[in-house]
Amino acid sequence: MAAASSSDSDSCRAESKEANSKWLDAHYDPMANIHTFSACLALADLHGDGEYKLVVGDLGPGGQQPRLKVLKGPTVLTESPLPALPAAAATFLMDQHEPRTPALALASGPCVYVYKNLRPYFKFSLPHLPPNPLEQDLWNQAKEDRIDPLTLKEMLEGIREKAEVPLSVQSLRFLQLELSEMEAFVNQHKSKAIRRQTVITTMSTLKKSLAEEDAVSCLVLGTENKELLVLDSEAFTILAKMSLPSVPVFLEVSGQFDVEFRLAAACRNGNIYVLRRDSKRPKYCIELSAQPVGLVRVHKVLVVGSTQDSLHGFTHKGKKLWTVQMPAAILTMNLLEQCSRGLQAVMAGLANGEVRIYHDKTLLNVIRTPEAVTSLCFGRYGREDNTLIMTTRGGGLIIKILKRTAVFVEGGGEVGPPPAQATKLNVPRKTRLYVDQTLREREAGTAMHRTFQTDLYLLRLRAARAYVQAIESSLSPVSAIAREPLKLHAVVQGLGPTFKLTLHLQNTSTARPILGLLVCFLYNEALYALPRAFFKVPLLVPGLNYPLETFVESLSDKGISDIIKVLVLREGQSAPLLSAHINMPVSEGLAAA
């Protein structure tokens, strides 16, 4: 309540800013501790009293304690622990009985938990999958003690690599074990029948035969086994089973089960598959360039958010209509449906703390939130029709109410030409000096040209002379000879009187090691002492950087610094291959003493 009142007094102060906003800040609680995502949020009139509640499948602070929370207004009404992490939450009408209170379905692990009136009502488990007959056979042999654990392990590994039917959980656990634990595990588990069960990844609802608000719905489940199941909501029998080439993660449903329906499933392989009634396999496939992060249907357009920070619009037949680029990564997406104005738009929660609302390609509105939003839900909450519920990354809860008078206009959030066009080019100004100079150039152009050319000749000559001299005495730290590609640089560390001198030597050839190199230091022996002034270099492997360190001790007590020369020589040749000059710093240790 404290948070609500403070935000309210804020809104009193910033009234002018508030006036042009389309949203009313109803509630902000940064400590709400709700960690969930859009698929696990659902709004429904759970008690049939016209007061809509928010159902949250909460993962818990570290994804540790899954809980089912039901919120009424800004407060949590009930909270109950869940057996496993929730995958999706949905509310639907199961039957025609009065009062028409919707049931709440929560997919978690291989089960769908159905709650009515907030009490556990039914638990639907996915049917078991047929196990691999070879695997079954092996375990039967183990049961009769005709096979020892080691051979069982080898055979199972063989099956795992070759067979197309994956192994059961039991066999996979067995394969993980150490030798010592195997015997006990086999004895314990050999009598049990092996089972293969899959997990629900996504869930949605589909109207059964009527398209009305209060019609009976079916549940549509997507499983880890690359299947879509349509469940009858009264009897919990499987009405239809469809298979997909990949694991579905987002599901979008339209139509009615008995008449005609379309299922769009965004899968982990980055494709979206569109299925229709009576098609066991996908009819159309939309290939995205990146993984989908959300799937929303707006009228007849499928809007997909991708990990490349963009929204794409597709028709149901897989034709691309448009692409909009986002300024940050998309964290979540959901549908905004304003019934009174017949508006359907897509909301996208971005990583920079914005929530953007798009109608087709046009940006309608941007909401800035104090923290990045991870789940979004728009609909009737409490007694207010147009409520937007957001939960943040840190577990906060934000509730905003759309003003009655607010109209989303296209182009409302549009900006004009990019701001870069308004900035002036940084062209430097010319002064009188420049003009005088050009005048002189115009008058004495010939003389200037001649003098410059003569100077250039001299410069070239001197550069060539110096270069030849450097090559002759091998002064350069990079060897120019193609036969011996080498690179050398030296680093001095420390304050003195002892310095650490590190030579970095590198063979820059592609694939030829260099053998038999020597390093020799030339220095004034009155000023510096080196433990070894001459040593052998190890074999230089191409590409690696060899740091060769020595310690240099400054002997002078007068703060004199001198040059130390490093020569890299080849064994048996007196001419150095390359050399470096190191300007030794003044020894500060002596200066202080």
Partner 1 sequence: MGLLDRLSGLLRLKKKEVNVLCLGLDNSGKTTIINKLKPSNAQSQDIVPTIGFSIAKFKSSSLSFTVFDMSGQGRYRNLWEHYYKEGQAIIFVIDSSDKLRMVVAKEELDTLLNHPDIKHRRIPILFFANKMDLRDAVTSVKVSQLLCLENIKDKPWHICASDAIKGEGLQEGVDWLQDQIQAVKT
Task: Confirm or reject binding of residue 405 to partner 1 (CB under 8 A).
Answer: yes
Is 4 a binding residue for partner 1 by CB under 8 A? The answer is yes
Closest to partner 1 by CB, 262 or 400: 400
| Count of positions on this chain that bind partner 1 (CB under 8 A) | 25
Q: What is the dihedral of CA 102, 108, 109, 112, to 10 degrees?
A: -10
C-alpha radius of gyration, the chain, whole number:
38
Give me the residue label for tokens 């992060």.
293
Rounded to 5 degrees, φ, ψ at 530 are: -120, 135
**Contacting residue, 381, 408, 521, 523, with partner 1 by CB under 8 A:** 381
CA 513, CA 412: separation in Å to the nearest integer?
67
By CB under 8 A, tell whether 10 contacts partner 1: no
DSSP state of 39: G
Q: Which two tokens stand for residue 307?
A: 């990990």
Q: How far is the CB of 401 from partner 1 (least distance, A)?
A: 6
Please tell me the distance from the alpha carbon of residue 270 to that of residue 295, in angstroms, as a whole number: 12
d(CA 198, CA 87): 13
Residue closer to partner 1, measured from CB, 9 or 583: 9
- Give the residue, chosen from 24, 159, 175, 328, that forms a contact with partner 1 under the rule CB under 8 A: 24
**Residues in 459-498 that interact with partner 1 by CB under 8 A:** none
**Based on CB atoms, which residue is closest to partner 1, 6 or 151?**
6
Which of 392, 347, 393 shows the shortest CA–CA distance to 23? 347
Residue ranges in 32-91 that form contacts with partner 1 under rule CB under 8 A: 50, 73-75
Selected range binding partner 1 among 92-100, 260-268, 275-283, 381-389, rule: CB under 8 A: 381-389
Apex 15 CA angle, 9 and 21, nearest 5: 110
CB of 51 to partner 1, least distance (A): 9
Q: Residue 401, interface with partner 1 (CB under 8 A)?
A: yes
Under the binding rule (CB under 8 A), the answer on residue 337 touching partner 1 is no
Structure token pair of residue 557: 């007590």
Tell the smallest beta-carbon distance from residue 14 to partner 1 (Å). Answer: 12
The residue behind tokens 């090559």 is 471
User: Which residue, among 256, 217, 348, 254, has the nearest Cα to 294 in the 3D structure?
Assistant: 348
> Which two three-digit tokens encode residue 148?
């020892």
For residue 389, the minimal CB distance to partner 1 (Å) is 11
Strand, coil or helix: what is 71? strand
Choices 6-14, 31-39, 185-193, 304-312 (CB under 8 A): range interacting with partner 1: 6-14
CB nearer to partner 1: pick between 251 and 402: 402
Q: CA-to-CA distance for 574 and 460, rounded, in angstroms?
A: 30
Q: Nearest distance from residue 34's CB to partner 1, in Å?
A: 16
| Cβ nearer to partner 1, comparing 93 with 389 | 389
Residue pair 392/370 in contact (Cβ under 8 Å)? The answer is yes
What does the chain come to in residues? 593
Binding segment for partner 1 (CB under 8 A), chosen from 22-30, 35-43, 55-63, 287-295, is 22-30
Tell me how far, at minimum, the Cβ of 431 lies from partner 1, in Å: 59
**What is the rounded distance in angstroms from the CA atom of residue 131 to the CA atom of residue 574?**
78
Who contacts 170 (Cβ-Cβ below 8 Å, separation ≥6)? 139, 189, 192, 194, 195
Q: Which residue stretch of 350-358, 375-383, 422-430, 508-516 sits at the interface with partner 1 (rule: CB under 8 A)?
A: 375-383
Count CA atoms closer than 13 A to 356's CA, side-chain side: 26
Residue 340 interacting with partner 1 (CB under 8 A) = yes
Q: Which of 43, 221, 229, 399 binds partner 1 (CB under 8 A)?
A: 399
297 contributes a contact to partner 1 by CB under 8 A:
no
Asked if residue 254 binds partner 1 (CB under 8 A), the reply is no
Minimum gap (Å) between residue 74 Cβ and partner 1: 6
* Neighbouring residues of 231: CB distance < 8 A, sequence distance ≥ 6: 112, 124, 218, 219, 220, 221, 237, 238, 239
Compute the distance between CA of residue 474 and CA of residue 206 in angstroms, rounded to an integer: 82
Q: Does 446 sit near partner 1 (CB under 8 A)?
A: no
Q: Does 404 bind partner 1 (CB under 8 A)?
A: yes
What is the nearest approach in angstroms of partner 1 to the Cβ of residue 4?
A: 6
Residue number with CB closer to partner 1 (12 or 425): 12
- Contacts with partner 1 by CB under 8 A lie at 1, 4-5, 8, 11-12, 24-27, 50, 73-75, 340, 381-385, 399, 401, 403-405
